[in-house]
Amino acid sequence: MTVFDQIRALASDLFAISPDKLSVSSSPETVDAWDSVQHLNLVLAVEEKFHLQLSPEEIEQMKTIGDIVKIVEGKLQTAPS
């Protein structure tokens, strides 16, 4: 599973919508269930799933699914293991 697939699966569980309704450009503007509470839930689920900590600056930049994928991929590459 790619990072995108995994993040899409998390978002799909959280927002209770089918994964094929989510794309890299999905955002709180395009997904009804994606409110501030669900945004926090998504951040926490991503941190748990990929065993990483996101900084407030990174969380600030996460406007779309694609943004989240990019940031997570960047952190996974620099991570020691």
Partner 1 sequence: MNSENKSLNLRADVDRLIANGAVQLASGCMAELWREEAGLSVAPFLVSRFEQLRGKVTLTPYRLAVLRSFTLEPAIPLVRAEAFVKGIDLSAQLGDFNAYAQDILDADSSLYRFSPDAVILAARTPELAPDLWNQFADLSPDAVSAAIQRVVNSFAQWIRIFRERSSAALILHSLELQPHPHNGILDAQRENGQAAAIHQINRELRRIAGEHRSVYILDYDGLMARHGRLRWNDQRKWLLARMPIAADNLLHLSREWLRFLVPLSGKTAKVAIVDLDNTLWCGIIGEDGMNGIKLGPEYPGAAYQNLQRALLDLTRRGILLAICSKNNPEDAMEALTHHPGMVLKPKDFAAMRINWGDKAQNLREIANELNLGTDSLAFIDDNPFEREQIRKVLPEVTIIDLPANPMEYASALRDCPVFERLALSSEDKQRTVMYAEQQERAQVEHTFENKEDFFRYLEQEAEVAPVSSATLARVAQLTQKTNQFNLTTRRYTEQQIQEMSGRSGWQVLSISVRDRFGDHGLVGVAIAHDQGESCEIDTFLLSCRVIGRTVESALLSQLAEHASSKGCKRLLGWFFPTKKNAPARDFYPQHGFELTEQSPEGSLWSFDLTKQQIAAPKWVRVTKPAAV
CA atoms of 3 and 57, how far apart (whole Å): 20
Chain-centroid distance, C-alpha 32:
16
The yes or no reply on residue 32 touching partner 1 (CB under 8 A) is: no
Binders in 60-79 for partner 1, by CB under 8 A: none
Q: Which stretch binds partner 1 (CB under 8 A): 24-32, 41-49, 64-72, 73-81?
A: 41-49
Q: Name which of 77, 20, 67 is nearest 42 in CA terms.
A: 67
Residues that bind partner 1 (CB under 8 A): 1, 10, 13-14, 16, 37, 40-41, 44-49, 53, 55-56, 59
